[in-house]
Amino acid sequence: MRNIALKLMYNGTAYHGWQVQKNAVSVCETIQKALGRICGEEIHLTGCGRTDAGVHAERYVASFRTNARIPVERLPFAINTHTPEDIAVRAACEVADDFNAIGSCLRKEYTYRIYNSRIKNPFYVNRAYFYPYPLDESLLDLAASQFIGTHDFAAVRSVGTETRTTVRTVYTCSVTRSGELLELKVSADGFLYNMVRAITGTVLYAAEGKIRPSEIPEILESRDRSRSGPTVPPGGLYLTRLWYEDERLND
């Protein structure tokens, strides 16, 4: 039995997240159905992480086992023939037998995009969070930097999925501007439910003067969700980078 990894990307607007749902269409289910037709057997895909409804992925890795002998170089075209236009498999490769898309992932990076302009832009609908008031990116960046390090992130987590611990290590967290588009990038060894969207909401709270950037470490230490900012909408969130020991999966 072969173990195969797929490198893919998707626009998550039409999907109820990555994970298979009982009564809603998911990215995983859509690709699994395509693979089932191609491989002639039931396929179980393991993704590198859960993305919520409406969240996008510019980089995503999923793995599956199959007895089918279709050459890996033919898989992307075959899958893309059987999936909608908002999902695309970029590449496929055989991986070590002990490889698992989520268990073997060392680090992830998410990017949250904010369209900061007085005038709305229809081309950013469900692609970036429209914020019509002036924002100081240097203040946003200062607030974002307070999340770097190993902390208990319960204060920026929404209740939804059980987890053994709410402690995570954030390696980078910064905000940059390119014209009217702001990007908050955060990389970590793992993420809690809605963690990046709550971090973004907290950074925006700081920009609005509701908290000071220097208060963020204390808010994290309190583990009190009510003291941090709101969970911003999902359409601005993208999974943008992954790290694996197998470097073929890192581009």
Identical topology for domains 2-104 and 107-241: yes
Helices 137-145 and 195-207 cross at an angle (nearest 10°) of: 130
State the burial class of residue 50 (Cβ atoms within 10 Å of its Cβ: 0-12, 13-18, 19+). middle
Output the DSSP codes for 95-154.
Answer: --TT--TTTT--EEEEEEEEEE-SS--GGGTTTSEEE-S---HHHHHHHHHTT-EEEE-G
| Cβ contacts of 138 within 8 Å, gap of 6 or more | none
What is the reported pTM? Answer: 0.95
- For residue 67 the two structure tokens come to 């007895």
Report the CATH fold assignment for 107-241.
Answer: Alpha-Beta Plaits (3.30.70)
Residues in the chain: 251
Q: What CATH code would you report for 2-104?
A: 3.30.70.580
Domain assignments of the chain as residue spans, ordered by start: 2-104, 107-241
Rounded Cα distance, 232 and 55, in Å: 12
- For residue 182 the two structure tokens come to 């702001």
* Gyration radius from the chain CA atoms: 19
Q: List 8's β-bridge partners, or say none.
A: 60, 89
Tell me the pLDDT of the chain (251 aa) as tens digits: 999 999 999 999 999 999 998 889 999 999 999 999 999 999 999 999 989 999 999 999 999 999 999 999 999 999 999 999 999 999 999 999 999 999 999 999 999 999 999 999 999 999 999 999 999 999 999 999 999 999 999 999 987 667 889 999 999 999 999 999 999 999 999 999 999 999 999 999 999 999 999 999 999 999 999 999 999 999 999 999 999 999 999 98
Catalytically annotated residues: 52
According to the model, what pLDDT value does residue 159 have?
A: 77
Rounded Cα distance, 19 and 29, in Å: 8
